[in-house]
Amino acid sequence: MTSDGRIPEVDPAALDAVIAADGRGVIIDFWGTWCQPCRTLRPHLERLAADHGTDWRFVAVHVEKHPELVDRFSITTTPTLVYLRGGDEVHRTEGASPPSAIEQVMVALA
C-alpha cells in the first residue's frame, strides 16, 4: 500500500521483489478495469490494507497488462485474491467476496 492508501500496481519483477523482501504476507489483487466487482471491491481492500498493514501487504495486478502473471498464478476469474506467505500460496478468494469474509481469512492466516 502506498502512503496515500492506494494499492500499488506491480509487474512481474516488482511482484517478485515484494514477495522476496517483505516479511509480511502478500495479497495479490488480480483485477481488470472492465470488471465492475473489481472496482467495487478496491476501496474495501484499501481499508483492509490500512487496517492490517502490519501483517499483510497488498499489491494489484492488472490482468490485461500482465498475462504472464495470470498464467503463473492460474487466474481464471476476476477479481481473484491470492494470499502468499513466505512466497507460497496459502489461500485464494475468487469472485466477488464480501469484505468481511476477506478479513476473516486475513485474520485466520495472520
Q: Could you read off the pLDDT of 56-75 as tens digits, one per residue?
A: 999 999 999 999 999 999 99
32 is catalytic: no
In this structure, the number of other CB atoms found within 10 A of the CB of residue 28 comes to: 25
The catalytic residue among 32, 35, 105, 109 is 35
Question: What pLDDT band is residue 3 in, cutting at 50, 70 and 90?
Answer: very low
Q: Average the pLDDT over 76-100 and give the result.
A: 95
| DSSP code for 9 | B
Cis peptide before 79 (omega within 30 of 0): yes
The catalytic residue among 15, 28, 38, 106 is 38
Q: Residue 1: what pLDDT?
A: 47
Whole-number Å distance between alpha carbons of 49 and 1: 7
Is 13 within 8 Å of 69 (Cβ atoms)? no
Q: Is the pLDDT of residue 2 over 50?
A: no
Is 7 within 8 Å of 60 (Cβ atoms)? yes
